[in-house]
Amino acid sequence: MPVYQSSAFAFGSAEALAEAMAGPEGDCAYSRRGNPTVRTLERQVAELEGGRAALAAASGMGAISAVLLALLRPGDHVVAQRCLYGGTHAQLADLAERFGVEVERVEGGDVAAVRAALRPGRTRLLLLETIANPTCEVPDLPVLLAAARAAGAVSVVDNSLASPMLCRPIEHGADVVVHSTTKYLGGHSDVLGGAAVFADEELYATVWGRAVELGAAADPFAAWLTLRGIQTLPLRMRQHCANAELTAGRLAAHPRVRGVFWPGLPGHPSGAVAARVLDGGGGMLAFEPAGGRDAGREFVERVRVARLALSIGGVETLVTHPASTSHRELDDAELAAAGISAGLVRMAVGIEHPEDLWKDIEQALEGF
Ligand SMILES: *Cc1c(COP(=O)(O)O)cnc(C)c1O
């Protein structure tokens, strides 16, 4: 697919241009409304997720914000998983404070709590993530999405960390799937992007109109890079999962490691659900080096093959220490409530040779 690096497209007649502007299906007239390269990406992501239509956005937060702003009105009731991506959490808090949206936060792994929070005829939206970050909690999508439908709520699932290779939430009953394509779909840490996929064309048309107003459209070159990334998605995902499995298993047996979190590891609290919902454990794991907060911070500074950087889903292994970065505003008690210990290290496992990665981890664990 070539890059259509154009903001506007020329027409031969005023009537044809007017027709193009009628809705999301018309010819491309202006790239905030539609662009051929971006539309190819939208079709591919919709197909991968088993949806009817998709819209691409400038970032994952662009897609998530477009969906939330399009679907929510003041006073609406939202049920959201407690452990959500930080940007989504902040967006919901903002909608609650400035627009009076009532947000109820529940443990995604607690089916009874989610069911109890859904109010039939009142709840507008249920918001979940396929794999929560960094605890790797996997909510029981088939059960929870059916409960949302029964309550008349629209369900939105952030599938960024599983990718459609491991889970297709629409097959389990989701109405909307959102993605940070920055992560596994792009896959090379060189492009920001987002997407929202819809099971239903009506919902798509509603959100598309609001997204055009919001102006979070994907750039054609960013869309082209993402299309390039998607071509190797199955190969990369297989290697991410294999490397994460080997690394998680060895970490679990290491004398200087306390706990390891990875959905495919025996004994993970979400293990049984993950086995039903995911076609693989994914590339993200978390672990706790013996020695608490300082050990976690020192580990991420000692690695040499892996690098200390935000993000997930690229070909290279990235590590972070949530207690000193993404979750630095929480004290130890609040961290514990969020399921994150002060020493926890998050590792987005890349596709390097796993032995290179393991040697690096071993040297970084020396001395704890
Ligand atoms: C990164 C991420 C986002 C935000 O995506 P951006 O592309 O950074 O805007 C949203 N959800 C999840 C699960 C993510 O990992």
Which of 32, 115, 149, 250 does the annotation list as catalytic? Answer: 32
Is the distance from the beta carbon of residue 180 to the nearest atom of ligand 1 less than 6 Å?
yes
- Among 20-29, 94-103, 137-146, 228-237, whose mean pLDDT is lowest? 20-29
With 90 as the cut, is the pLDDT of residue 338 above it? no
Q: What is the 3-state secondary structure (H, E, C) of 278-311?
A: CCCCCCEEEEEECCHHHHHHHHHHHCCCCEECCC
State percent of the chain over pLDDT 90.
91
- What tens digit of pLDDT does each residue of 238-279 get? 999 999 999 999 999 999 999 999 999 988 999 999 999 999
Nearest CA to ligand 1 atom 5: 60
Burial class (CB in 10 A: 0-12, 13-18, 19+), 366: exposed
Question: Is the alpha carbon torsion for 97, 98, 100, 103 positive or negative?
Answer: negative
Q: Helices 292-302 & 354-365, crossing angle to 10 degrees?
A: 130
With 80 as the cut, is the pLDDT of residue 334 above it? yes
- What is the pLDDT, as a whole number, of residue 327? 84
Which of 4, 39, 85, 204 does the annotation list as catalytic? Answer: 85
Residue 177 — pLDDT band, cuts 50, 70, 90? very high
Taking alpha carbons only, the member of 77, 46, 33 closest to residue 214 is 33
Residue 340 C-alpha to ligand 1 middle, in angstroms? 19
**Element holding 269 (H helix, E strand):** none
Do residues 173 and 142 make contact, with C-beta atoms less than 8 angstroms apart? yes
Nearest CA to ligand 1 atom 7: 60
Residue 329 — pLDDT band, cuts 50, 70, 90? confident
Across 34-51, average pLDDT: 98
CA atoms lying within 13 Å on the CB side of residue 266: 4
What three-state secondary structure class fits 233? helix
Q: Boundaries of CATH 3.90.1150.10 in the chain?
A: 233-365
Nearest CA to ligand 1 atom 2: 180
Across 184-190, average pLDDT: 98
- What is the pLDDT, as a whole number, of residue 231? 98
- What tens digit of pLDDT does each residue of 44-79 get? 999 999 999 999 999 999 999 999 999 999 999 999
Angle at alpha carbon of residue 254, lines to 248 and 259, rounded to 5°: 60
Residue 217 — pLDDT band, cuts 50, 70, 90? very high
Specify the CATH class of 14-230 in words: alpha beta
Mean pLDDT, the chain, rounded, equals 96
- What is the pLDDT, as a whole number, of residue 95? 97
Is the distance from the beta carbon of residue 31 to the nearest atom of ligand 1 less than 6 Å?
no
- What is the pLDDT, as a whole number, of residue 2? 97
Is pTM, for the whole model, over 0.95? yes
User: How much is the CA Rg of the chain, to the nearest whole Å?
Assistant: 21
| Separation of CA 11 from chain center | 38
Could you please state the CATH topology (level 3) that the domain comprising 233-365 is classified under: Aspartate Aminotransferase, domain 1 (3.90.1150)
Residue 87 C-alpha to ligand 1 middle, in angstroms? 7
Tell me the two tokens of residue 150.
């029964």
Is the distance from the beta carbon of residue 345 to the nearest atom of ligand 1 less than 6 Å?
no
- What tens digit of pLDDT does each residue of 10-34 get? 999 999 999 999 989 999 999 999 9
> 319 has which bridge partners?
308, 347
- What is the pLDDT, as a whole number, of residue 124? 98
d(C-alpha 80, C-alpha 89), whole Å: 9
Burial class (CB in 10 A: 0-12, 13-18, 19+), 119: middle
d(C-alpha 99, C-alpha 73), whole Å: 8
With 80 as the cut, is the pLDDT of residue 368 above it? no
**Element holding 177 (H helix, E strand):** strand 176-180
Is the distance from the beta carbon of residue 182 to the nearest atom of ligand 1 less than 6 Å?
yes
Across 216-244, average pLDDT: 98
The reply to whether 85 belongs to the active site is yes
Do residues 7 and 217 make contact, with C-beta atoms less than 8 angstroms apart? no
The reply to whether 32 belongs to the active site is yes
d(C-alpha 146, C-alpha 167), whole Å: 16
Residue 308 — pLDDT band, cuts 50, 70, 90? very high
Interstrand relation of 307-308 and 53-57 (parallel, antiparallel or unpaired): unpaired
Is the distance from the beta carbon of residue 161 to the nearest atom of ligand 1 less than 6 Å?
yes
d(C-alpha 157, C-alpha 40), whole Å: 22
Quote the DSSP letter at residue 250.
H
Q: Boundaries of CATH 3.40.640.10 in the chain?
A: 14-230
Is the distance from the beta carbon of residue 179 to the nearest atom of ligand 1 less than 6 Å?
no
